[in-house]
Amino acid sequence: MSRARITGTGSALPDKIITNRDLEQMVETSDEWITTRTGIKERRIAADREYTSTFAVEAGRRALAMSGTGADELDLIILGTVTPDFPFPATACIIQKELGAHKAAAFDLSAACSGFMYGLSIATTHIRAGAAKKALVIGAEVLSRVVDWTDRNTCILFGDGAGAAVVEACEGESGILSTHIFSDGSHWDQLYLPAAGSRNPASCQRTIDERLYYLRMEGNDVYKHAVRAMEEAAITALNANGMSPSDISLFIPHQANRRIIDATAKRLGLSEDKVFVNLHTYGNTSAASIPIALDEANRSGAIKKGDIVLMDAFGGGFTYASALVRW
Ligand code: COA
């Protein structure tokens, strides 16, 4: 059976920056509050004519270029997103057209902040089963369009962007050692977007006046579950491979909140130098956060050949996921 290996990474971010100081002018908050509660200093925000596909296509192109893969070689394009260009068709189909990936099957995957990791798991399974040879997995979001910019509880947390990875069949020691995906639907209403689906069809009186097109979150509950779930996903990955936290060269957690990352790393007994963090510059980019971090770590030389890299996600649903990779 072939192994699946990540052979290229890419990311793309909007140019526009909103700092904590900018947010002080928009809602009652402070740089000090945001920094101490979340670790976020600034986030990137899409311009008017930039969409989820805009960043996804660019991140995909960069990942393909690094891997030396032609778009027409792709069998599969999987986009993890909760902010597609449209409810349908799949934004992955728009990406397919823009890249010229004629023979790829393309679909979107809704697993909130775990979307990229779910996609990575599906691509890996397809490759190991021989159903695909080359896949492009993307996490991309324009959350700024569904964030309520009058709600200080949520608007300080999120940002826009995309990250991508080319995954392909290979032989040998390096590659994706395992992926694990989990869901706990009993908490679906703690982080969700009420409108734009079949429960709350468009209506001026209801969906617009009641601000149902904006995401809602029970921050405290999400926080507690995130730490527990990310620890469980990480331990499951290590146990499945007969490894312990000391084997990890680099831990790439979902970039939601510095305190969640630190608490998870502490539970795993990982020192700070083994934890990749970039959320101070991008905030929580949901499905894009892990592939953006992976691309930055890869391009900066923070990951070297042979390293053991653990990726660990948590998001609305709740969903959570891990992937252990020998680079
Ligand atoms: N600026 C200033 N004050 C704020 C604020 C802001 N941006 N947002 C909330 N507050 C206030 C609250 O209104 C509350 O005031 P009150 O005591 O007068 O009611 C106070 O700060 C404390 O709020 P609380 O919600 O208890 O803060 P917290 O320490 O739990 O931090 C989060 C809030 C959202 C940062 C934290 O719960 C969190 O990170 N949760 C996880 C969110 C997340 O990562 N979601 C995505 C997961 S994929």
Clarify whether 113 is annotated catalytic. yes
Residue 110 has a pLDDT of 98
Q: Is the CB of 36 under 6 A from ligand 1?
A: no
Instruction: Map tokens 């491979």 to a residue.
Output: 241
Q: 249 alpha carbon to ligand 1 midpoint, in Å?
A: 32
Per the CB < 8 A criterion, the answer to whether 321 and 182 are in contact is yes
82-to-141, 162, 214 alpha-carbon distances in Å: 7, 12, 12
Find the 247 Cα to ligand 1 centroid distance in Å. 35
Q: Is the shortest distance between the CB of 226 and ligand 1 below 6 Å?
A: yes
Over its length of 327 residues, how does the chain's per-residue pLDDT go in tens digits? 789 999 999 999 999 999 999 999 999 999 999 999 999 999 999 999 999 999 999 999 999 999 999 999 999 999 999 999 999 999 999 999 999 999 999 999 999 999 999 999 999 999 999 999 999 999 999 999 999 999 999 999 999 999 999 999 999 889 999 999 999 999 999 999 999 899 999 988 889 999 999 999 999 999 999 999 999 999 999 999 999 999 999 999 999 999 999 999 999 999 999 999 999 999 999 999 999 999 999 999 999 999 999 999 999 999 999 999 999
Ligand 1 closest atom vs CA 259: 39
* Angle, alpha carbons 28-33-37 (nearest 5°): 130
Query: SS3 of 77, please?
Result: strand
Peptide bond preceding 89: is omega within 30 degrees of 0, i.e. cis? yes
83 lines ligand 1 (CB under 6 A): no
Closest by CA to 161, choosing from 275, 9, 15, 297, is: 15
Probe residue for ligand 1, chosen from 114, 152, 153, 259 as the CB with the greatest number of ligand atoms within 8 Å? 153
* pLDDT confidence of residue 205: 84
pLDDT of residue 204: 85
Ligand 1 geometric centre to CA of 223 (Å): 10
For ligand 1, is residue 158 a contact (CB within 6 Å)?
A: no
Q: Give 261 Cα–ligand 1 centroid separation in angstroms.
A: 16
